[in-house]
A and B are shown apart, each in its own frame.
Chain A
Amino acid sequence: MKVDLQNLPGLYLLSLETCVSCGNCLVECPTYKASNERIHIPGARMKGIMQAYRKARLAPEFVNESFGRMIWECTLCGYCQEACPFDIRTNPIYLAVRSALYKACLVPEQTLKLAKILKESHNILGKPNDKRIAWFEFRSRKNSRLIKKLGVDSAPNYCELRIEDIVREKAETIYFVGCNSSFFMGLSGIPDAMVRILHHAGIEFTLLAEDEWCCGYPLLLSGDLEGFREAAKHNIEVIRRRGAKRVVFTCAGCYKVFKYYYARIADLNLDFDVLHSTQLISQLYREGKLKKINGATKVTYHDPCDIGRHGNIYEEPRAVIKMSGYSLVEMDKHCEESACCGGGGLLKSTSPELSSEIASERVAQAIKTKAEILSSGCPSCIITLKEAVQSSNSKLKVLDIVEIVALSHGLIPRQ
């Protein structure tokens, strides 16, 4: 099957042609910095795509290995756009090209496998989707064990939650857990902390449980637009059925697709607010539903690309960290300048070595701050950074921002 890049919108061509190869994009590009290979320079990608476009309807053999690597080996962190003097929108271009490659079945095997699993099981792990809240039981058991071991003082505000407290027929607030937090037991602390914060603040909420499907972001990143649209349609439908007025996310990727892509790519009308956990928690602090806490534990915050550079959410997480009684120390690269953790753009599946190289670099920046905790607002970042910390032999703790909030309020046991 031939790759058809002729369907790229004219505006993207304009963007591609605007590139003057000034090299500003390569200075902080995480993939290029980790690999030093030309194919990872965003400017070279622009040239590569333009060349491919000029070849009109490409023969698959033209889309050789290096062109494929050029497109798939990218974290889509968006730093190149932030650095580009002409503000060229690189990510939408990469997504459009990935979609053209997907249509021509020119997708890395692992990516294709992931897309297939996802469409069959509606989650990225291929597990039965009715096990979406298996984390709850797992975590409840773990919490009880820990409290028994460490004493009640380790979590003075801990309370036993029942399944009815977190899954309801209808609720104005829905907590969309996301695949990573639902199925990776190593990340189960994130939804556990989030439901406890919501409960503690007196918010009536519900999870979608087995009705929740993957938000479709991995499908979008694989280029499978149809699969993405199907996932979006389903999720919007089940959210509407529950009469939600707002949906809150601990996953930055899920937040981004709901906020920016569901309406425009899937052509769906969102009749509810879309909030990242840090936005809701800072609101709860402002409304007095959560009490501000004093403390001095040093925390450094990693801005997930999906809510930071892509969503302009910089202030809320920092405010939440401070109001939860932590002392925030910034890494050299933060906010718009934040470095990627290496886990984005499906890079972890297409090139795991490159991904961990990037993560190690980010962890080194965090270690330099001498913080005790490295926090973030995205389970994907958390898992990637955790792995990098483990291989660095550092004592740095990696916790999601909702976990450190729950800890400071004594909602979960302090280990």
Chain B
Amino acid sequence: MWDLILLFSTSVLPKFTLTVLIVGLALKMRGWMRPGMWFKLENPSLQVAPEFIKSVIRNLILFERIYKHQPVLWLLTFPFHIMTGMVIFGHLRGFGVWSKDILKPLGAELTYFFIKTLPLALGVLMVVLLIGILVYRLSYKPLRTLSSGEDYTVILLVLTILSSGVAMRLLPYTHEPFKVNFLPGVTLYIEETPNIAAFTIHVISSQILIMLLPFGKLVHIVSSLINILYSTSERSKHGGVISL
């Protein structure tokens, strides 16, 4: 049965996922570009670039404001997002974007550490951090009051992706190369064949997350940059936080 589900999730579902993502993002962008009937909004100029970069570093990379107001949440979310970046980078090796050969100068032991030990450690840590985020959301009353079903759905979905990813490395696997072609030009090569059930859950849940991206809070991955650009522009042109 798992083979059949795997076949579906690696051949049919990716096309559907990609279509939903592209159409969803296109619709979002169209909505975001509407002028509306409010006041004339000014387009950001190139002069705001330094301020914009500063704001991106301080807010989107370092999570400075989260640190200032909710240090406990910062302790959970800041490393989580950094690790997400590292894990995504690691995945790119499977898709042929980079090869473990670049690690050769570091020696065999360090190469093993970077492609085996570190990813597993990161996966486990991320599961722990995400559970921490969930517990924080549930235990800090004002935040629990604010939270809706969507907030918990996304956390549970990411938790599924992470735990199935970790399971792929922990459950018994065969020492045979594994290759899956998701889409034309998007092929995954792994040195070992993982546990099929864990892999299938990982692939399906990841694609659900990608499909949800334009339609829920995950859209902040794209929109936060644009929002910061406009806010920085308003601040540098007019000063203060509000403007228009």
Contact = CB atoms under 8 A, between A and B. Distances in A.
Interface of A: 7-15, 17-24, 26-28, 32, 36, 38, 41, 43-44, 47, 76, 78, 81-89, 91-92, 96, 99, 260, 264-265, 267, 309-312
A47 B149 CA distance: 12
A311 B242 CA distance: 8
Contacts of A82: 241
Given A12-B38, A41-B142, A87-B59, A21 B217 contact: yes
B31 A10 contact: yes
B55 interface: yes
A94 B180 CA distance: 49
B46 interface: no
A388 to B, nearest CB: 24
Interface string B140-174: 10110111100100000000000000000000000
B45 interface: no
Contact of B242 (A8, A15, A92, A267): A92
Given A9-B41, A15-B223, A87-B59, 16 more contacts: A9-B36, A17-B217, A18-B227, A19-B217, A24-B69, A28-B69, A44-B146, A84-B65, A86-B60, A86-B220, A86-B224, A89-B242, A89-B244, A92-B242, A92-B244, A264-B39
A10 B240 contact: no
A310 B241 contact: yes
Contacts of A81: 231, 241-242
B240 A14 contact: no
B226 to A, nearest CB: 6
A207 to B, nearest CB: 27
Contacts, number: 152
B231 A89 contact: yes
B184 interface: no
Contacts of B37: 7, 9
A85 B66 contact: yes
Contacts of A7: 36-38
**B interface bracket (residues with beta carbon within 8 Å of A):** 35 or more
Interface in B28-60: 28, 31-41, 55, 59-60
A24 B34 CA distance: 29
B149 to A, nearest CB: 11
A15 B32 CA distance: 9
B70 interface: yes
Contacts of A96: 38
A16 to B, nearest CB: 10
24 contacts: A8-B38, A9-B34, A9-B37, A10-B34, A11-B41, A11-B230, A12-B38, A18-B220, A18-B224, A18-B227, A22-B70, A23-B140, A24-B70, A41-B146, A78-B240, A81-B241, A85-B59, A85-B63, A87-B231, A87-B232, A92-B244, A264-B244, A265-B39, A309-B240
Interface in B196-237: 217, 219-220, 223-224, 226-228, 230-232, 234
Contacts of B64: 85
Nearest to A259: B238
A114 to B, nearest CB: 21
B227 A87 contact: yes
Contacts of B39: 264-265
